[in-house]
Structure 1
Amino acid sequence: MKRWGIAAAIAAVAALGLALVLGLVIGSPTGAGDNGDGYRLYCSAGLIPATPDHNASFRGGVVLDFDRAAPCHEPQPSSAAVLFKAVANGDSPFSLTEVGWLYVLLVFVVTLLAAWALQARGPRRLLFLIPPLVPLLEPDFARLFISTFAEPTGLFGAYTLLCGVAVIAATEVDDGFERLSALVLAAAGGVVGGLAKIGYLPLFVLAVLVCAVTGARAGHGRWWSGRIFGPAIAVLLVLEIIAPVRANLGWQERTFAEVNAVNLVYTLGLVEMPGSAPGLGLPAEAQQSAGYAYFPKGPDKLIGADAVLADPSGVKEKVWGMLLDQPFVLAHAVGTGLQATYGRGLPYLADEPWTPAAVQPRGTGRVSGAMGGDPETFRQWLDGMSLPWWPSLLVLLGLVAAVVSLRRRRRWTTRYGVVAGVATAGALGIAVMAVAGDGYYEIAKHVWLAAYLLDVAVLSLAVMVVPVLVRRARELSARRTARPAES
């Protein structure tokens, strides 16, 4: 009961902190305005924005109020839609703040279970909650919990997955029920996060790998009994997700095949591989349109776009083949995607509530640098960043830390490297999916979740390294003190 009491107190603090950041308790709600993607989610619940033109896109604020309408014909298959409809179903007018409260409740439940399980080896290991929880409360991440995007569901899934990984790192195989709780958290996080949108599928892959290599022995069974639960859950996850992933891929291909192909070719392919237009079946003059995306002007302004629209899947495969043949170009593209995690604030998405008196900001037809829609603003945005190499270096450090922590598990602080490794692997996977799926268009939003994962890795590495540095400093100080005494 004491452990549950401590866990409940920590979960309540986490939930209250999130509610305060979202402005659900004091002040006005803070969310993320729609950029046109929100329709995919709210239409599935039969909602329509309560604005004069029933449009929520680029309104200069976050549209919180919705009226009822007929559900759309083909909504996006997503775990985000499942959660959204769970709170939005009904006949009365709907407020987006209800979605924010749903995530507050879900964060409370996940934190409660993780905090209870982490105390299996003593209360000090509650510190394992710090890396995944603290970044979750950053306004740049938390505000999207009040939005009509799929991203917050991915964020909640990533948080749940990392809580499970933290419990695994802090416990042993013989901590049966705590380890089983960790496996449940990791599996649930992988499913919820990985199915939020196809670009977050790496979260599911990580959940499967984590479960496959994790032991959990309930009671005093034989030695091999501790190796059954994790792999069994991993197999069940793979079998369970096949149909949803196929549905999501099919929807993406039917709905955005042309858009994705144009963005991939013009914002990444022609930019990173100048002169590749003929190899893609485009006229050589198409190089003049390099860096420009499908939106906001449309493909009519792009030289050779008709060839891309005629065979979007074939052209995308050609770009992928060229990137695989030039690994240094691919590495640079992924590095640019990781660098774009600096744009986590998504400044082009308003955060204050929309009111009838709100005025749509000027220049919304011009693509900002963080949106990656034209070469000039995008390059200026990237060049204005300090330490552009840091996110890529952080991924390398996180992966190395994971290897070190798995080989040296005697000190429990070194096990934070496991959390850092999973977080950085997830960030790398999301960056790869982003650049390979839609080029550099809206790259900051597409790698927004990777920014959260990198923040988790930073905190994990700090907790892992700082005690070592302090210990070394004390040993050095003790040696210096001992030398004069001996003489």
Structure 2
Amino acid sequence: MNRLGLAAVTAVVVALGLSLALGLLGGTPTGAGDNGDGYRLFCGAGLVPATPTHAASWQGGVVLDFGRGAPCPDPQPSSAGIILKAIVGGRGAVSLTELGWLYTLLIFLVTLVTARALLVHGRRRLVFLLPPLIPVLEPDFARMFISTFSEPAGLFGAYTLLCGVAVIAATGIEDGFARLSALALVAVGGVIAGLAKVGFLPLLVLAVLVCAVTGARLGRGRWWSGRIVGPALAVLLVVETIWPIRASLAWQDRNYAEVNAINVVYTLSLVEIPGTATALGLPAAARESVGHAFYPKGPDELIGADAVKNDPDGIRNKVWGMLLARPAVLARAVGIALQSTYGRSLPYLSDEPWTPASVPPRNFGPVSGDMGGDQSTFRQWLDEMSPPWWPSLLVLLGTGAAAVALSRRRWTTRYGIVAGVATTSALGIAVMAVAGDGYYEIAKHVWLAAYLLDVAALSLCVVVVPVLVRCARDLRERRRRRVAVAAGEPAAQVTTPVNSPSTG
């Protein structure tokens, strides 16, 4: 009961912090304005923006209030859409603040389960909850919970997945119920995040892999009994998600094949690979359109775009083949995607609620640097970031920490697994972003990767700080011994430092 009470208090504090960050408790709600992507989800729920034009995109604020209408025939298949429909019910009016409260409740439940599982081995291991939690409360990430994007479901799923991995790192196979809770968190988080949008599929893949190598034994069963739960769950995840994944890929290809192909060609391959125009059968003059995306002016002003529109899948596959044949170019593109995680604030998406007095922006933003729709402004935006190499270095550090964690038994060191899962997921999202849409709107596409890299950085602190503290204590002890010996103190009175249980 004491453990459950402490877990409940922890979850309440987290929920209170998130509701304050969202402005749900008497303040002004803080969300993310629509750039046109929100329609993919709210139209499926039969929601109509309560604005004079019945549009939610580029209104100069976050449209919070929606009326009801007929659902559109081809909404985006997404776990975010299912969560959005949960607040609709049979009512005639809906507010996105209710969606914010729903995500707050979900975060509360996940935190409660995670804290209770971590407390199996004492209160100190609650520190394992901090790396996934602290970034969720940051305004750049929290505000997405009040929006009609797929990103909030991805963020909630990633938080749930990493909480499960944290519990796995903090427990052993004999901690049956705690491990079962962890596996449930990993599975649920991976499904919700991976099915939020195609670009987040790496999180589902990581969830399957984590389940496949995780054991959980209840009671004193045979040694092999604890090794089948995780792999069985991994197989179940694969079987249950095949159809939703195929539906998401088909929807993306059905609605955005031309858009994605043009963006990959003009914002990525023409920029990074010399001779792309000739290799793809485009006119040589296509170089004059380098760096420009499908939006805002459309493909009509892009030289050679008709050839891409006539065979978007074939052109895109050729570009992928060219990237695979040039690992250095692919690494540079992925590095730029990781660097773009600095743009997590997405300033072109309004955060204040829309009112009739709100003024839509004159420039809708696609040519701003963080949108990646113009080569010059995009490069200028990248050049302003410092240090540009830090996200890539963080990926390497997180991967290294995971490798060390798999070979060590110290519980603080084992937490490197969380850093490894976070950085691997961030890397996967970065690859999906550049391969799927080039550099266009890259900051938004890698927004969830920014959260994952923050989790990785904090996880590395959990791993490294105890080591530094232990080294500092041993250094002080050695200095004390040298001073004691120099002062003539008998050797028998000089103690040898021993590792403290608090760091063991």
TM over 0.5, shorter chain: yes
Separation in structure 2 between the aligned mates of residue 303 and residue 362 of structure 1, nearest angstrom: 26
Partner residue of 1:486?
485
Q: Deviations over 1:65-88 (max 9, x none)?
A: 111111001111111111111112
> Which residue of structure 1 lines up, in the alignment, with residue 146 of structure 2?
146
Counterpart amino acid of residue 71 in structure 1: P
Q: Which residue of 2 aligns with 1:326?
A: 326
- Are 1:275 and 1:287, in contact at CA under 8 Å, matched by a contact in 2? no
Q: Distance in 1 between matches of 2:462 and 2:36?
A: 40
SS at match of 1:75: coil
SS state at 2:43 partner: helix
Partner in structure 2 of residue 128 of structure 1: 128
How far the C-alpha of 1:264 sits from its partner, in A, is: 0.5
Match of 2:309 in 1: 309
Q: For 1:17 and 1:483, how far apart are their aligned partners in 2?
A: 49
Q: Equivalent residue for 2:219?
A: 219
Q: Residue 495 of structure 2 aligns with which residue?
A: none
Residues in 2 aligned to 1:92 and 1:53: alpha-carbon distance in whole angstroms: 18
Which structure 2 residues correspond to residues 417-436 of structure 1 after superposition, within 5 A? Answer: 417-436=416-435
* Counterpart for residue 447 of structure 1: 446
Match of 1:10 in 2: 10
Whether the 8 Å CA contact 1:29–1:352 is kept in 2: the answer is yes
Q: Which residue of 1 aligns with 2:242?
A: 242
Provide, for residues 256-289 of structure 1, a one-character-per-residue CA deviation record: whole Å limited to 9, x for no partner.
0000000000000111112211101111211111
Q: Report deviation, 1:361.
A: 2.1
Give the 5 Å matches for 1:251-262: 251-262=251-262
Q: Which moved more, 1:119-128 or 1:239-248?
A: 119-128
Aligned to 1:63, the other structure's residue is in SS state coil
Paired with 1:14 and 1:244, the residues of 2 have a C-alpha distance of 32
Cα deviation, residue 178, structure 1:
0.5
Hey, what's the Cα distance between the residues in 2 that align with 1:484 and 1:378? 59
Q: Residue by residue, what CA displacement relative to the aligned partner does 1:47-101 show, whole Å, maximum 9, x if unpaired? A: 1101000111111100001111110011111111111111123232111111101
Contact 1:394/1:424 (<8 A) preserved: yes
Q: TM-score, normalised by structure 1?
A: 0.99
Deviation at 1:148, TM superposition (A): 0.4
Is the CA contact (8 Å cut-off) linking 1:45 and 1:89 kept in structure 2? no
Q: Which residue of 1 aligns with 2:199?
A: 199
1:486 match: secondary structure: helix
Matched with 1:77 is 77
Q: In 1, are the aligned partners of 2:366 and 2:372 still within 8 Å (CA)? A: no
Instruction: Report the counterpart of residue 169 of structure 1 in structure 2.
Output: 169
| Residue 364 of structure 1: how far off its partner (Å) | 1.9
**What is the one-letter code of the residue matched to 1:61?**
G
Aligned to 1:55: 55
Equivalent residues of 1:274, 1:287 under 8 A apart: no
CA 1:5–1:327: 2 relative to 1, 3 Å: same
1:346 — aligned with what? 346
Take 2:427 and 2:282, find their aligned partners in 1: how far apart are those partners? 31
Q: How far apart in 2 are the matches of 1:362 and 1:302?
A: 23
Q: Which moved more, 1:275-284 or 1:319-328?
A: 275-284
**Offset at residue 431 of structure 1 (A):** 0.3
> Which residue type is aligned with residue 482 of structure 1?
R
Secondary structure of 1:169's aligned partner: helix
Deviation for aligned residue 1:365: 5.8
Aligned mates of 2:293, 2:98 — CA distance in 1: 35
Q: Is the 8 A contact 1:215 1:229 kept in 2?
A: yes
Over the matched positions of the two proteins, sequence identity in percent amounts to 72
2:174 alignment partner AA? D
Change (3 A) 1:190 1:485: same
In 2, Cα distance between equivalents of 1:15 and 1:478: 43
1:168-188, Cα deviation, whole Å (9 max, x unpaired): 000000000110000000000
Instruction: Please state if 1:299 is matched with 2:281.
Output: no
Which residue does 1:385 correspond to in 2? 385
Deviation of 1:371 (Å): 0.5
Partner letter of residue 309 of structure 1?
K
Secondary structure of 1:135's counterpart equals helix
- Cα deviations by residue, 1:85-125 (Å, 9 ceiling, x for unpaired): 11123232111111101100000010000000011111111
Give CA-to-partner distance per residue, 1:138-182, whole Å, 9 cap, x none: 000000000000000000000000000000000000000110000
Shift of 1:366: 5.3
Equivalent residue number for residue 35 of structure 1: 35
Contact 2:295 2:366 in 1 (8 A): no
Larger Rg: 2
Structure 2 equivalent of residue 466 of structure 1: 465
Give me the whole-angstrom Cα distance separating, in 2, the residues matched to 1:407 and 1:365: 48
2-structure distance, mates of 1:106, 1:366: 33
* Whole-angstrom CA distance in 1 between matches of 2:158 and 2:198: 14
In structure 2, how many angstroms separate the alpha carbons of the residues matched to 1:94 and 1:381?
A: 38
Report the CA distance between 1:467 and its aligned residue.
1.3
Q: Distance in 2 between matches of 1:54 and 1:81?
A: 19
In the alignment, structure 1 segments of 5+ residues that lack a partner are: none
What is the CA–CA distance in structure 1 between the aligned matches of 2:433 and 2:56, rounded to whole Å? 25
Counterpart of 2:48 in 1: which secondary structure? Answer: strand
Counterpart for residue 502 of structure 2: none
For 1:466, the aligned partner's letter is V
In structure 2, what residue type is equivalent to 1:24?
Answer: L
- Residue 228 (structure 1) aligns with: 228
Give distance in 2, aligned partners of 1:402 and 1:16. Answer: 32
> After the TM superposition, which residues 250-289 of structure 1 pair with which residues of structure 2 at under 5 Å, given as runs?
250-289=250-289
SS of residue in 1 equivalent to 2:66: strand
Which segment is superposed worse, 135-144 or 88-97?
A: 88-97
Q: 1:318 to 1:366 in 2, by over 3 A?
A: closer
Moved more, 82-91 or 241-250: 82-91
* Counterpart residue identity of residue 480, structure 1: R
Which amino acid counterpart does residue 111 of structure 1 have in structure 2?
T
Residues in 1 aligned to 2:365 and 2:281: alpha-carbon distance in whole angstroms? 30
More moved, 465-474 vs 395-404: 465-474
- Contact 2:68 2:92 survives alignment (8 Å): yes
How many residues are aligned here? Answer: 486
The 8 Å contact of residues 348 and 365 in structure 2, kept in 1 or not, is answered as no
TM-score by length of 2: 0.96
